[in-house]
Structure 1
Amino acid sequence: MSIATHPRAFATVTGEAATFVTLDGRTEPVHATGQEDIRHAIVRRATHEARRAGAPVELVTSGDRGEHHLLVGTDGALGAITPTHPPVPVAADPEQLAEPARRMEVREQAPQPEPVDAPTGPAAESPTRPTFLAPIPDTASHLSGWRGALARLGLSVGPSAAERRRSEWVSAVSTHWAGCRTLAVANGKGGVGKTMTTAMLAAVFARQGGGNVLAWDNNDTRGTLGWRTEQGLYDTTLRDLLPAAAELLTPTAGVSDMTRFVHHQGSDRYDVLRSNPELLATDQRIATAEFDLLMQVAARYYRLVIFDSGNDESAERWLRMVDSSYQLVIPTLAAPESAESAALLLDALRDRDERSAALAENAIVIVTQSEPSGGAAARRVADGFQGHVRAVGVIPFDPALKSGPLRFDRLRRRTQDAWLRAAASAAQEL
């Protein structure tokens, strides 16, 4: 076994619930999905933390099965590790983080007793009082077709396999995390569906999770997210938000103060932070410090931010978007040029640094069928990315995506389910 010199994350397990403490000291709950064991969910969360750090993480778990130390790699590989005592990160509650390390120190300093036989008999038994509360049923499953008709008649019938899968997708995208999460939609080529993907993912997360989702047009050159989404009460853009950022971060600022700078989408429930497509790129450059200030504002008011990136991969705001994102989504059309641009972006990120490489390995590629007869071409492109990224999704042709306002309700049911599945795949690593 190796001697641990890695950054630490902590997890405390209580029954089927867990609390996770990130490398920077944030405390958040961990939830298992479906029939997943809570410990698998903890390892999945630690893997994501390792990917964000670009290096293996020491995971210290404590709870009903004792205390354990695991080395979690960026690829999810687990290894045994000999605990040491590096500085513990500072959190809002330092005692909470210090406790696992304190217990470990006490155990190492105290003499280790010889094992003894556990007591037996009635005195050793610890009867558990039965609960009078029934578990809350899974209300995410909605029966349809003949199953729904029978259920409305009072006849008990279980969901189909497709309905169970859809229920799992809904559960994934309706999750609320402790702290803001960020997702970048990127492809260096224009006209490949970045704006469409941003709007549809934002709609899925907001409709299923109850809002608090921001679609951010992070584009220096002719960002069109505002053209295909509803305008709010004010004709404002990111340039208007920037000088007001400091005031919005004061303790007295309220949620309604943000309304002046974003454009709410009525039925789809998310907000849009527009760029100004009428200005030249030279007039709306965003430096790294300005991006970070705007990100502080976004994290103050939203639980999820989805970036609609521009095409200039050398821009400061583009690079900072990548460095600030938990998940990378790469849209492409079922065309060779679009797919090649997506592949080149993945190659460039793998060569940039460890964290960007982890984003590339964990990326999701979404292939949109732009023509009614393009199903075979879309599948060929999707097959080409299999094994090179974490997941690949195909969006079937839908005339509501071709032009005009982007509204989730306008889509065919098959298209809605495809976007729901894509969003659920992205949510797995958030």
Structure 2
Amino acid sequence: MGTTPTEVLAFPNIRAIVRDNGTAEVVVAGNSRVVPAGESIQDLRNNALALVVKEAQTLQRPVRVRIEDPEGHGELIVHPDQTIESVTYETRPARRTTETSETAPGKAETKSVGTVPAPEPETAPTEPAAVSSDPGKVDDGPGSPNPVSPGPTTRRALRDAGSFLAAPSTVEPATQGIRGMLNTMGFSLAPSADELREREDIRLASKHFAGTRTIAVVNQKGGSNKTPTVADLAAVFGRNGGSVVAWDNNPTTGTLGWRTEQGDHTRSALDVIAAADALLSPTARSADINAFVHHQSTDKYDVLRSDSDVDGTHEVTAEEVDILHRVVSKYYRLILMDSGNNHRSAEWNRMIDHADQLVVPTTNEEDRVEAALLTLQGLDLKSERSASLATNAVVIVSERQKGEARLSQETADKFRPYVRDVVVVPFDAALKSGQIRFGALQPATRRAWLRAAAAVARGL
């Protein structure tokens, strides 16, 4: 709107305060108004600004608001039509983890509406210093014709020369939080530490490996969240550009097929075994596998179901697991294997033989936690290779119900000394039952699964 700060009255004095602990308030002329809670800091910011908009609408004019945020502080002008202008904003140095060319180290960036930067002062040109006739000695007077001769150059092999190109160091401006909002108004603020961490997790989840990688998701106790873990990790990898299959490696009817989309057929792993020769032949095409897997339309991965025939008697052998693994390795770069609860069965143990990374899910219930530990200990004793998988495992602790954040962290802390990484996933009602769709999860849950996928990717 082009409103200058001097045109907007400073009365009433309005402050919007957003805190790290998930609370916020708007103080108008000394009267505090509680801001409705949100799922994230950004929700709190939006809810706080909505209260300020209402104040502007009541007064029927723009108002000033001083904002205090975990990432910085500044002043905004808020209009009754919900237009927001930035007057100044300064980031908190303690939260800055990167520096950009726009902001010097240790100095916050500010920007004022309606002001123009002063031009750079002009500097009079000076004559270059002349050199004396004595090599290596600079003459104070002009007119000396003899340049300084360079010293002898040490010759080196061309093969030892490094690249003369500067290493890329540009960091894209913030797109999230209040920094991202202010960047849409013309600022160029660097991303916060949280946004940088998220970008790094996305990079890891998007990584393409040379050859197929197999992730085994195991816990010998039922109800430990194995299937949601497989589905959500597959969704993160699939949405970030991977070629991903989630394989239900269960001896009997597994639940992965129940909790994911079904294609226009009912084929399962047994049908892949029967068609293995054709699928592995040199004339097979990449789309041939589509007749046997079930594509997840929004989460961009495929599901290979276990046999669901209630009258079926076929038990998958270790050799058939090998066949299935050869087939899916031909068509996919990333394989996530759901598993049954019998750690003594042939298909369970052959899955471990093919695994490059182990994921052990658990809830914070005592028996599931103990089963996760026993699973790791059993693999530690089985062989040198499985012991390596166990010590480099990622444990994922999923909250069983709302309000158990502290218990989940205590559970996670029990595993931290024994495995490579532990990630806690908050409770989400969308994971309790029905089809698992990543987009239906709360933002905090999606962020946790991205963090978990990045932790898994580091081991691949």
* TM-score, structure 2 as length reference: 0.64
1:311 and 2:341 matched: yes
The residue that corresponds to 2:326 in the other structure is 296
1:382 and 1:390 map into 2 onto residues whose CA distance is: 12
| Secondary structure class of the residue paired with 2:275 | helix
CA change 1:373–1:275 in 2 (3 A) is same
Conservation of the 8 A alpha-carbon contact between 1:361 and 1:390: yes
Q: Could you tell me how far 1:130 is from its partner in structure 2?
A: 5.0
Q: Could you tell me how far 1:374 is from its partner in structure 2?
A: 1.7
The residue that corresponds to 1:114 in the other structure is none
CA change 1:242–1:413 in 2 (3 A) is same
Match of 2:440 among 410, 418, 422: 410
The residue that corresponds to 2:353 in the other structure is 323
1:226 and 2:261 matched: no
1:211 and 1:395 map into 2 onto residues whose CA distance is: 22
* TM-score, structure 1 as length reference: 0.68
2:263 and 2:186 map into 1 onto residues whose CA distance is: 44
CA offsets 1:302-338 (integer angstroms, 9 cap, x no match): 0000000111111111100001101110011110000
User: Which segment is superposed worse, 284-293 or 299-308?
Assistant: 284-293
1:420 and 1:255 map into 2 onto residues whose CA distance is: 28
| Secondary structure class of the residue paired with 2:248 | strand
- Opposite residue 326 of structure 1, the aligned amino acid is D
1:249 and 2:280 matched: yes
Matches within 5 A, 1:147-226: 147-208=179-240, 210-226=241-257
Larger radius of gyration: 2
The residue that corresponds to 1:236 in the other structure is 267
Conservation of the 8 A alpha-carbon contact between 2:174 and 2:183: no
1:152 and 1:396 map into 2 onto residues whose CA distance is: 31
Conservation of the 8 A alpha-carbon contact between 1:204 and 1:419: yes
2:163 and 2:401 map into 1 onto residues whose CA distance is: 61
1:262 and 2:293 matched: yes
Q: Could you tell me how far 1:128 is from its partner in structure 2?
A: 7.5
User: Which segment is superposed worse, 142-151 or 180-189?
Assistant: 142-151
1:278 and 1:248 map into 2 onto residues whose CA distance is: 23
1:345 and 2:387 matched: no
CA offsets 1:64-116 (integer angstroms, 9 cap, x no match): xxxxxxxxxxxxxxxxxxxxxxxxxxxxxxxxxxxxxxxxxxxxxxxxxxxxx
Q: Could you tell me how far 1:124 is from its partner in structure 2?
A: 1.6
Match of 1:391 among 417, 421, 430: 421
- Opposite residue 362 of structure 1, the aligned amino acid is N
CA change 1:289–1:144 in 2 (3 A) is same
CA offsets 1:201-240 (integer angstroms, 9 cap, x no match): 00011111x1310000000133010101001122111111
Q: Could you tell me how far 1:277 is from its partner in structure 2?
A: 3.3
CA change 1:142–1:177 in 2 (3 A) is farther
CA offsets 1:2-25 (integer angstroms, 9 cap, x no match): xxxxxxxxxxxxxxxxxxxxxxxx
Superposed CA RMSD in Å reads 2.2
Q: Could you tell me how far 1:135 is from its partner in structure 2?
A: 4.2
Conservation of the 8 A alpha-carbon contact between 1:335 and 1:377: no
Q: Could you tell me how far 1:278 is from its partner in structure 2?
A: 3.9
Q: Could you tell me how far 1:365 is from its partner in structure 2?
A: 0.8
CA change 1:136–1:177 in 2 (3 A) is farther
Conservation of the 8 A alpha-carbon contact between 1:237 and 1:262: yes
| Secondary structure class of the residue paired with 1:122 | coil
Conservation of the 8 A alpha-carbon contact between 2:381 and 2:387: yes
Matches within 5 A, 1:74-85: none
Larger RCO: 1 or 2 (CA < 8 Å, sep 6+): 1
The residue that corresponds to 1:361 in the other structure is 391
2:162 and 2:392 map into 1 onto residues whose CA distance is: 43
CA change 1:128–1:360 in 2 (3 A) is closer
Q: Could you tell me how far 1:152 is from its partner in structure 2?
A: 2.1
Conservation of the 8 A alpha-carbon contact between 2:236 and 2:450: yes
1:374 and 2:401 matched: no
CA change 1:243–1:129 in 2 (3 A) is closer
CA change 1:137–1:254 in 2 (3 A) is farther
The residue that corresponds to 1:45 in the other structure is none
| Secondary structure class of the residue paired with 2:422 | strand
List runs of 5+ in structure 2 lacking aligned partners: 1-97, 99-150
CA offsets 1:352-404 (integer angstroms, 9 cap, x no match): 11111111111111111011122222122111112011111111011111111
- Opposite residue 399 of structure 1, the aligned amino acid is A
Conservation of the 8 A alpha-carbon contact between 1:224 and 1:277: no
| Secondary structure class of the residue paired with 1:124 | coil
Q: Could you tell me how far 1:276 is from its partner in structure 2?
A: 2.4
The residue that corresponds to 1:122 in the other structure is 153
Conservation of the 8 A alpha-carbon contact between 1:231 and 1:264: yes
The residue that corresponds to 2:43 in the other structure is none
CA offsets 1:34-91 (integer angstroms, 9 cap, x no match): x9xxxxxxxxxxxxxxxxxxxxxxxxxxxxxxxxxxxxxxxxxxxxxxxxxxxxxxxx
1:309 and 1:278 map into 2 onto residues whose CA distance is: 18
Conservation of the 8 A alpha-carbon contact between 1:291 and 1:320: yes
2:180 and 2:313 map into 1 onto residues whose CA distance is: 56
More helix by share: 1
2:228 and 2:409 map into 1 onto residues whose CA distance is: 19
List runs of 5+ in structure 1 lacking aligned partners: 1-34, 36-119
Task: Give the number of aligned pairs.
Answer: 309
2:314 and 2:417 map into 1 onto residues whose CA distance is: 38
- Opposite residue 165 of structure 1, the aligned amino acid is R
The residue that corresponds to 2:22 in the other structure is none
2:378 and 2:194 map into 1 onto residues whose CA distance is: 38
